[in-house]
C-alpha cells in the first residue's frame, strides 16, 4: 500500500509545498522592504528635532534657528545635495535620515550645495 514510489511522491509534494510557502513569504518580505521602493514624501514620518541623530547634526526645521556661526547664509534643506525633493517641496526625504522627511526650510550641519 505504501510503497517506495508513493513515499517519494509524498516527500516531493511536502517539499514543493514548503518551497511554495517560503517563496511566497520571501516575495512578501521583498515587496515590503525592497531597497528600491521609496515612500512618497507625504507618506514619510517627519524627522523630530529631538531625534538623537538630528540633534547630533544640529538639524532644525527652520534654518533661521540654526547656529549662524556654522550655517552658510542661504543654505536650506531644499537646496542641499542630500535632499530628495524639489526646491518647492515643503517636506521631503534626506539621504542622511532614511525613512524620514525633513523640512525644505530646515538645515543641518551636513548641508552640501546641490549641484546646479
Ligand atoms: S543633509 Fe541636507 S537635506 Fe538632509 S537634513 Fe541636512 S541640510 Fe537638510
Q: Is the pLDDT of residue 38 over 80?
A: no
Same domain, 49 and 25: no
Identify which of 41, 60, 82 to mutate to test ligand 1's pocket (most ligand atoms within 8 A of the CB).
82
Same domain, 61 and 85: yes
Same domain, 74 and 53: yes
pLDDT at 116: 85
More confidently predicted of 12 and 58: 58
Domain of 2, in residue numbers: 1-36
pLDDT at 42: 76
Same domain, 43 and 99: yes
Same domain, 17 and 64: no
What's the CATH code of the domain at 92? 4.10.490.10
Same domain, 90 and 111: yes
Number of domains, the chain: 2
pTM above 0.75, yes or no: no
Same domain, 47 and 60: yes
pLDDT at 98: 97
Q: Is the pLDDT of residue 51 over 60?
A: yes
Same domain, 16 and 30: yes
Reported for 92-97, long-range contacts at CB under 8 A and 24+ positions apart, including other chains, are: 92/41, 93/38, 93/39, 93/41, 93/44, 94/47, 96/53, 96/57, 97/47, 97/51, 97/53, 97/54, 97/59
Tell me the mean pLDDT in the region 64-74.
96
* pLDDT tens, position by position, 79-115: 999 999 999 999 999 999 999 999 999 999 999 999 9
Residue 29 CA to ligand 1 center (angstroms) comes to 30
Lowest mean pLDDT among 13-17, 24-28, 55-59: 24-28
Same domain, 73 and 107: yes
Same domain, 22 and 64: no
Amino acid at each position: 500500500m505504501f510503497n517506495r514510489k508513493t513515499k517519494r511522491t509524498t516527500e516531493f509534494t511536502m517539499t514543493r509545498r514548503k518551497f511554495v510557502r517560503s517563496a511566497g513569504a520571501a516575495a512578501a518580505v521583498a515587496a515590503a522592504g525592497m531597497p528600491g521602493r521609496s515612500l512618497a514624501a507625504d507618506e514619510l514620518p517627519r524627522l523630530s528635532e529631538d531625534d538623537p541623530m538630528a540633534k547630533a547634526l544640529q538639524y532644525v526645521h527652520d534654518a533661521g534657528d540654526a547656529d549662524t556661526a556654522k550655517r552658510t547664509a542661504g543654505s536650506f534643506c531644499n537646496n542641499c545635495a542630500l535632499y530628495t525633493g524639489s526646491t518647492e517641496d515643503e517636506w521631503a526625504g534626506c539621504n542622511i535620515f532614511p525613512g524620514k522627511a525633513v523640512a525644505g526650510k530646515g538645515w543641518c550641519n551636513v548641508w552640501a550645495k546641490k549641484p546646479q
